[in-house]
A and B are shown apart, each in its own frame.
Chain A
Amino acid sequence: MLKQTEGSHAVAEAVALCRPEVICAYPISPQTHIVEGLGEMVKSGELSPCEFINVESEFAAMSVAIGASAAGARAYTATASQGLLFMAEAVFNASGMGLPIVMTVANRAIGAPINIWNDHTDSMSQRDCGWIQLFAETNQEALDLHIQAFRLAEELSVPVMVCMDGFILTHAYERVDMPTQAQVDAYLPPFEPRQVLDPQEPVSMGAMVGPEAFTEVRYLAHVKQMQALDLIPAWAAEFREAFGRDSGGLIHAYRTEDADTIVVALGSVLGTIKDTVDALRDKGHRFGVLGITCFRPWPTAAIRQALGNAKKVVVLEKAFGVGLGGIVSANVRTSSGSPESVYTVIAGLGGRPITRDSLARIFLEVEAGTAPALTFLDLNRAVVDRALARERATRRSGPIAEALVRDVGLVTAQLR
């Protein structure tokens, strides 16, 4: 059914259609509307049977999900930013135990300095945690990915993180096509756990494993993710059959066939990039766009094929490895015929707008060969230099971020 709704509410409805049995909720922007929506459905009896538990921290949220999942219940939670870091130990534990929990991450920056706006630092910090990580481009894809995520998680006994851009998607009212309960029931079978705490068949879970088998347990997790590389496109195809639209899969290629330069990115910024590339195409520049939906497992073969004969690759990312540079681009280089032709553009940190003008400028610089290997889009280098000068001049130069913000001046003066 077509409806105009907020991204968070669309996800809440889609999760409810997946018949979750235990939902753990802890408030953190910008995911809060999702669990609020689900909580209302549970409290009103619309979503039943389901236990909605208001926990005291994200660490407890993931831990309650671990207990529920180990006891055979379909478990769901949502978080963002600091919340994801606060639960990090339990995030690794859930995947280490192979518990098929599904979690939404409404992507947001990590402090300090504290910042509630969107970027991808939270999810990227957990890229090696053993969860499957899917990134939604639109609200429609966000809700569709959740339906696919439960099926994928439970088939492989691996947890799945559905990442959607905080505010840009979670708080945007858009038209979405909400599937029916019958459609979801036909696509997503009931949860049949591979391991379960059951008094009739007592097992020990979470025991200590020494050097004699630890490598094999970890390698098995890797094998599961490699299996996901086959399942994800197959089930995206099934999804298209059942629901009548393309959602999910490993990657989305756009005008890449004859492209000289391909822009790689994750999430909602792909829309802006496609608009930019369309405009550049109109002027005769042969650009293409590659959206990565499945970041973990890393779809090496699909990306290598999609990058094909492109002479240059620009990776636009909303997070970066301090002291290194691009995180996604480091992954892309492993799947590129010529790693030296992969350029990194860091953009949108802490919610900074990514404009078509800025994108077109840097894309053309890459095409012309004048761009550096690593660019911070729209960086105000002058205020950074002033901060460095201050530190050279004075030992006790004061709180770093605060002085820098003062130098930048009023935000209203920046807006054009």
Chain B
Amino acid sequence: MSFQPVKFYQTGTFTVGNRLLPDNERSVQSTDRRHNSLNSGHRACQGCGEALGARYAIDAAMEATSGQLIAANATGCLEVFSTPYPETSWQIPWVHSLFGNTAAVATGIAAAMRVKGRADVRVVAQGGDGGTTDIGFGCLSGMFERNDDVLYICYDNGGYMNTGVQRSSATPPAARTATTMAVGPTPGNPFGQGKDLPAIAMAHNIPYVATATVSELRDLEAKVRRAMEFRGARYLHILVPCPLGWGHDSALTIRMARLAHESGIFPVFEAENGEVTGVSKIRRQVPVEEYLKPQKRYAHLFSPKPRADVIGRIQEAADKNIRKYGLLDTQGA
């Protein structure tokens, strides 16, 4: 008879198992209250960070609103893999209109709920980084500026993965995509471009802005819960590694997200009314090489000729994030 050891804890992480926590702090996913809003059977790639992020985020939103939730979805991976009709993975009312108008569609839904006296029904808009930072940016900024009662969630995988990995304004410097090729003297995406959307959201002075990754899922759930305590425009930016576009092993999705945080490349924080109110500290800063090396989109930085200069610039940016947000836990681990 085969023997399978049962693991109660993950090892090599600082994650605490659910059963060690009091009931009210346990993950929605670990309880029978979870709604399976994005149900199994969808067609995301193996190791998809976006599917994981969406599942946690929307289930947490369902929990926070007692199931009174409507979602608007931008065109993109999440839309395509979740609704190859006649199949749909959504167990909540869900609408997809266009690539660039999701925030506005959500505004319309929220307006309809208000006019019908159903302000208890809350609205989530969601899209990838292309639908958020590029083509949907106008509608998003308008929704922020009017302070419409919508939680907008951006699942940031740093590019247009659904169309075959092209550059977006969220693609990080030096990353190879199909439109920032790893050729020439400055291979990959140029430095000095791109949008810091959480900062732009904060500049709108909306009630709540937060970032999260799929490596700290309980933090992600807590931020969705917190977001739902506010009325008005809220923005949640979730880093979701993409095995296809990043070129890492599909088993490394969560590790990639964790390394993005622990290297300082992706600061995890929350902000209220335009001011940072909390950051997720880094216990031990890891050098950016550890994050870059498992990803084929950065392979040109390591061979045939190591590009210490480029890696150095990425390290500088990470160090700057750490200083700017005070990410290092100076008390020590």
Chain A residues at the B interface, C-beta cutoff of 8 Å: 21-22, 24, 49-51, 53-57, 59-60, 62-73, 75, 89-90, 93, 97, 197-199, 201-209
Contact = CB atoms under 8 A, between A and B. Distances in A.
B70 A199 contact: yes
A202 B139 contact: no
B178 interface: no
B117 to A, nearest CB: 8
A207 B138 contact: no
Which A-B residue pairs are the 6 nearest by beta carbons?
Answer: A67-B108, A56-B142, A63-B104, A63-B101, A71-B112, A206-B96
Contact of A199 (B84, B104, B112, B121): B121
Contacts of B68: 199
A209 B94 contact: no
Interface in B70-98: 70, 72-73, 79-80, 83-85, 88, 90-98
A202 B98 contact: no
13 contacts: A49-B116, A56-B138, A63-B105, A64-B108, A66-B108, A67-B104, A70-B95, A73-B108, A73-B115, A89-B98, A197-B93, A203-B94, A205-B96
A197 B72 CA distance: 10
Given A51-B111, A66-B105, A73-B112, 7 more contacts: A53-B107, A60-B104, A63-B139, A73-B115, A73-B116, A89-B98, A207-B85
B145 interface: yes
A198 B112 CA distance: 11
Nearest to A213: B85
A69 B108 contact: yes
Contact of B112 (A21, A55, A56, A202): A21
A268 B145 CA distance: 40
A203 B93 CA distance: 5
B69 A199 contact: yes
Interface in B22-73: 67-70, 72-73
Contacts of A199: 67-70, 92-93, 121
Contacts of A72: 112, 116
A56 B139 CA distance: 7
Contacts, number: 154
Interface of B: 67-70, 72-73, 79-80, 83-85, 88, 90-98, 100-101, 104-117, 121, 138-139, 141-142, 145-146
A73 B73 CA distance: 19
Give the one of A51, A198, A204 with max B CB within 10 A: A204
Nearest to B104: A63
A50 B117 CA distance: 11
A59 B101 contact: yes
Contact of B106 (A21, A22, A54, A67): A67
A53 B147 CA distance: 11
Nearest to B70: A197
Contact of A208 (B84, B90, B94): B84
B126 to A, nearest CB: 13
A70 B139 contact: no
B204 to A, nearest CB: 12
A22 B104 CA distance: 13
Contacts of B70: 71, 197, 199
Given A199-B68, A199-B69, A53 B97 contact: no
Contact of A205 (B91, B95, B112, B146): B95
A202 B90 contact: yes
A22 B98 CA distance: 20
B163 to A, nearest CB: 14
Contacts of B95: 67, 70, 197, 204-206
A195 to B, nearest CB: 10
A90 B98 contact: yes
Contacts of B113: 71
Contacts of B105: 63-64, 66-67, 70
